[in-house]
Structure 1
Amino acid sequence: MVLVTGIVYKQVKEQTCGISFHRDTLYDPIVISRIRPDGLFASSSLAVGMQVLTVNNVPVDDMTSSEALQLIKDTVGQVSIVAENRTIAVAEAVCVNAAPLVPESRQKRGFIILKQVEKSYSFHGPMTHDMVNLINNNLRQLKLVHGANMLQFSLNSSGHFYGATNNAAQRVHEEDFIVIILETMELLGWCLKVQYDRSPGGWQKELFVFHRMSE
């Protein structure tokens, strides 16, 4: 077992660390699913795919990924994460073998891209209204801080499902939105294949590429 420790310092409670966790079921480990290149943990030795063992010396074995992330959000000062380096590929860290919730007649093939540019999000590819409705419903279960708006997707004039957040929502809930979207896409039978982080012209841009799970 190779243990890796990442330690950062949060100046205020609302400061985000730019790290996300994922857990398929309580029988599976919590793994790191995302580390933002501009986040506090970007310069640590932690990496996507590592199994999270403790957060601030608290074991996360019996927690959901959201509960483990909440430990980080509630902390002011030092945040420590101990993880096991399991050298898992990014795609394996987020895939589940779940039954699609969309009727077979409406299932799509190919690739879907979720594009995030600053505070806006848009889906590109064979998304359906059923899929977007489920994502919107799951997003509405999130409890927001005062002043934050809820991320919701709707069809725009370009034919893409688009949603945007305000500054408060993006500052506090960006990781929450992404986790809910990833988990819902998995339930729908779509697996995260690859993630790109780019900052063209000073704008933070991320692309999440999903592909249909093998049946």
Structure 2
Amino acid sequence: MAMSDDELGMLIRRQAARHAPPGGLAQRIGRALRAEAVAAPVSATAPKRRGWWPSLAWFGTGAATAWGLALVLLATPLPPTDALAEAVTANHVRSLMASHLADVASTDQHTVKPWFAGKLDFSPPVVDLAAEGFPLAGGRLDYLDGRTVAALVYRAGPHVINLFVWPAAEGKVLAPAFSTRQGYQLAHWAQGGMQVWAVSDLNAAELHNFALLLRERTAPRAP
């Protein structure tokens, strides 16, 4: 049964109120509308209709498809891991643009680790991988996943690696997972009661190596 204009408008507003739009929603809707416009342009001789919400018959199949896409996107937020990966990438880019990589700039892990004391409700593991080609450069406070986290800064030649660390839910353990966002390489894992995200413009092989080295150095020791 076809919806009236008022019913369609009410449905869209109700969905928007229930669900926070995922990142990039406006861009995706815009691309869909432009694609439909190219595929099935509206005739210049089409009769004009009045009303705030034009009917689906007036817009034609293309617009109906776009409205349907909008409703699906509103009702389908990004998975938590994907949303967190987007936030990690955004924080990495922001730290580079703001020229504020470190609140404590030091290559000494015994200077960086104590700096976090009293500023966080956990103690992040801090290791120096200078001998392996990834020297520590400092640390700062950052904000992710609804809380304050530790951000450790490493370098690999001219490249910056941001390492975000905070307690893992229920002390879960996760094997490393690798992905790419906006041209940046990401690595994510959890061990020793902490979850860790590493992000850099290093190539994938180098970030894999960094992640594996760091996991080995911070792995809980057997009693």
Structure 1 or 2: more strand by fraction: 1
TM more than 0.5: no
TM-score, normalising length: structure 1:
0.24
Structure 1 or 2: more helix by fraction: 2
Answer 1 or 2: higher relative contact order, Cα 8 Å, separation at least 6: 1
TM-score, normalising length: structure 2:
0.23
User: Which is greater in Rg?
Assistant: 2
